Amino acid sequence: MQINQYIDHTLLSPTATLDDIKRLCQEAIEYHFYAVCVPECYVSLARNYLTEYPIRVAATVGFPLGSMATITKITQAKNCITQGASEIDMVINIGFLKSGLDDKVEQEIASIKKAIGDHVLKVILEISYLSNNEKQRATTLAIKAGADFIKTSTGFGSNPVTPEDIILLKEFAGTDIQIKASGGIKDAKTAQLLIKAGASRIGTSAGVNIVT
């Protein structure tokens, strides 16, 4: 297992500076990570830094709460793609899901997927806030809406992701959608267990620690 090629090397801190993002990109180059994941405002910086490398740029949309209007998320997603992102990590409207507004949740995901075309869409469920029934519904909605991944957490949720979380989501997802594990992943052993459980991508700010 070449674990570096599972990693979205991530920096989403509100205090992240230009130099911090450049350092993130340099680490991604040095350790051959699959992607970097950055806020919208740093997409063009990351893309320009990584121009000569096959490292993808993922950008967050509706982050971290998911409660923005759909049109706002669509505008964000389009801008991220224009600035050079090849993947979008969007947060679902958790309140709508909990209110039983499944059609609205699905329509929002589908609208963003339509807006970004062939680019990869990952749907952040923020599972620490969800019941098992809500996790299953959210997974089904993401599949129906044409998303490419479900993702466990923004990293701002209350609990770290576990292999058991991934096994459960895999039961709901089957082979219809991939799973990105994120939230509190700090070491290689945890990352390997999450991959074994069914994750095909790892989102972490500890990528260097994991591979070294």
Residue of 73, 113, 135, 180 marked catalytic = 180
Please indicate whether residue 176 is annotated as part of the active site.
no
Cβ(141)–Cβ(102) under 8 Å?
yes
Please indicate whether residue 78 is annotated as part of the active site.
no
Helices in 145-206 by DSSP H: which ranges?
163-173, 188-197
Please indicate whether residue 114 is annotated as part of the active site.
no
Q: How far apart are CA 196 and CA 183, in angstroms?
A: 17
Residue of 8, 89, 113, 135 marked catalytic = 89
- Is 23 in a helix, a strand, or coil? helix
- Nearest C-alpha neighbor of 14 from the set 50, 51, 39, 35: 39
Q: Is the preceding omega at residue 64 within 30 degrees of 0, hence cis?
A: yes
- Is 97 in a helix, a strand, or coil? helix
Residue of 73, 113, 122, 151 marked catalytic = 151
Instruction: Report how far apart, in Å, the C-alpha atoms of 132 and of each of 74, 81, 102, 127, 175 are.
Output: 28, 33, 15, 9, 19
Residues recognised as catalytic: 89, 151, 180
